[in-house]
Chain A
Amino acid sequence: MTLTSTKPRQSLPARIAARAGGGAMRVFLILVALFWLMPTIGLLFSSLRSPTDIAETGWWKVFSAPSDLTLDNYANLLDNNTVVDSLFSTIMITVPSTVLVVVIGSLAGYAFAWMDFPGRDWWFLVVVGLLVVPVQVALVPVSELFGKIGIFETTAGVVLFHVAFGLPFAIFLLRNFFAEIPKELLEAARLDGAGEIRLFARVVMPLGGPAIASLGIFQFLWVWNDMLVALIFADSASPPITVALQRQVRQFGNNIDILAPGAFISMIIPLIVFFAFQRQFVSGVMAGAVK
Chain B
Amino acid sequence: MPGDAETAAPAETGPGKVTGTAWLDFTKGGGGKPNTIDPREFGLKGIKVEAVKDGKVVDSATAGADGTFTLSAKADGAELRLPASNFREPYNGVDWLGPSLVTPAIIGSYVWMWAGFAMVLIAAGLAGLPRELLEAARVDGANEWQVFRRITVPLLAPVLAVVLVTLMINVLKIFDLVFIIAPGSSQDDANVLALQLYRSSFGTDADPGVGSAIAVLLLLLVVPVMLFNIRRMRKESRR
Q: A246-B179, A251-B183, A291-B236 are in contact. Are A135 and B208 (CB under 8 A)?
A: no
Answer yes or no: A132 CB below 8 A from chain B CBs. yes
Answer yes or no: A188 CB below 8 A from chain B CBs. no
Q: A285-B120, A290-B158 are in contact. Are A132 and B225 (CB under 8 A)?
A: yes
Complex Cα distance, B157 from A291, in Å, reads 12
Complex Cα distance, B203 from A231, in Å, reads 11
Residue numbers in B under 8 Å from A136 (CB-CB): 173, 175, 193-194, 197, 214-215, 218
Q: A3-B124, A3-B127, A39-B112 are in contact. Are A135 and B226 (CB under 8 A)?
A: no
The one of A12, A137, A139, A225 that contacts B123, using a Cβ cutoff of 8 Å: A12
Produce 1/0 per residue, B185-216, CB < 8 A to A.
10000000110011001100000100110111
The A120-156 residues at the B interface (CB cut-off 8 A) are: 121, 124-125, 128-129, 131-140, 143
B222→A134 contact, CB < 8 A: yes
B230→A129 contact, CB < 8 A: yes
What is the interface of chain A mostly: helix, strand, loop, or mixed?
helix
Residue numbers in B under 8 Å from A7 (CB-CB): 131
Residue numbers in A under 8 Å from B185 (CB-CB): 251
Complex Cα distance, B125 from A282, in Å, reads 10
Answer yes or no: B164 CB below 8 A from chain A CBs. no
Q: A128-B229, A132-B226, A140-B208 are in contact. Are A286 and B215 (CB under 8 A)?
A: no
Answer yes or no: A36 CB below 8 A from chain B CBs. yes
Produce 1/0 per residue, B105-118, CB < 8 A to A.
00000001001100
Q: How far is the CB of A242 from chain B (nearest CB, A)?
A: 7
The one of B121, B184, B197, B208 that contacts A286, using a Cβ cutoff of 8 Å: B121
Answer yes or no: B162 CB below 8 A from chain A CBs. yes
What is the interface of chain B mostly: helix, strand, loop, or mixed?
helix
A128→B236 contact, CB < 8 A: no
| Interface size range on B against A | 35 or more
Answer yes or no: A228 CB below 8 A from chain B CBs. yes
A2→B198 contact, CB < 8 A: no
Answer yes or no: A65 CB below 8 A from chain B CBs. no
B159→A289 contact, CB < 8 A: yes
Residue numbers in B under 8 Å from A137 (CB-CB): 215-216, 218-219
A125→B197 contact, CB < 8 A: no
Answer yes or no: A249 CB below 8 A from chain B CBs. yes
A129→B229 contact, CB < 8 A: yes
B234→A125 contact, CB < 8 A: yes
Residue numbers in B under 8 Å from A124 (CB-CB): 233
The one of B121, B123, B197 that contacts A289, using a Cβ cutoff of 8 Å: B121
Produce 1/0 per residue, B40-57, CB < 8 A to A.
000000000000000000
B124→A286 contact, CB < 8 A: yes
Complex Cα distance, B180 from A242, in Å, reads 10
Residue numbers in B under 8 Å from A143 (CB-CB): 201-202
Residue numbers in A under 8 Å from B173 (CB-CB): 134-136
Answer yes or no: B172 CB below 8 A from chain A CBs. yes
B159→A131 contact, CB < 8 A: no
Q: A12-B126, A36-B115, A242-B176 are in contact. Are A134 and B218 (CB under 8 A)?
A: yes
Nearest B-chain residue to A2, judged by Cβ: B128
B201→A140 contact, CB < 8 A: yes
Q: How far is the CB of B203 from chain A (nearest CB, A)?
A: 9
A3→B128 contact, CB < 8 A: yes
Nearest B-chain residue to A286, judged by Cβ: B124
Question: Would you list the 5 A-B pairs with minimal beta carbon distance, nearest first?
Answer: A2-B128, A227-B176, A251-B183, A286-B124, A134-B173
Known: A132-B169, A133-B222, A226-B176. 14 other contacts (CB 8 A): A7-B131, A128-B229, A131-B226, A132-B222, A137-B218, A139-B211, A140-B208, A140-B212, A227-B176, A282-B120, A285-B120, A289-B121, A289-B162, A291-B158
Chain A residues in the interface with B (C-beta under 8 A): 2-3, 5, 7, 12, 36, 39, 121, 124-125, 128-129, 131-140, 143, 225-228, 231-232, 242, 246, 249, 251, 282-283, 285-286, 289-291
Chain B residues in the interface with A (C-beta under 8 A): 112, 115-116, 120-121, 123-128, 131, 158-159, 162, 169, 172-173, 175-176, 179-180, 183-185, 193-194, 197-198, 201-202, 208, 211-212, 214-216, 218-219, 222, 225-226, 229-230, 233-234, 236-237
Sample 12 A-B pairs with CB under 8 A, ordered by A number: A3-B128, A121-B237, A125-B230, A125-B233, A137-B219, A139-B202, A228-B179, A251-B183, A285-B120, A285-B121, A285-B124, A289-B162
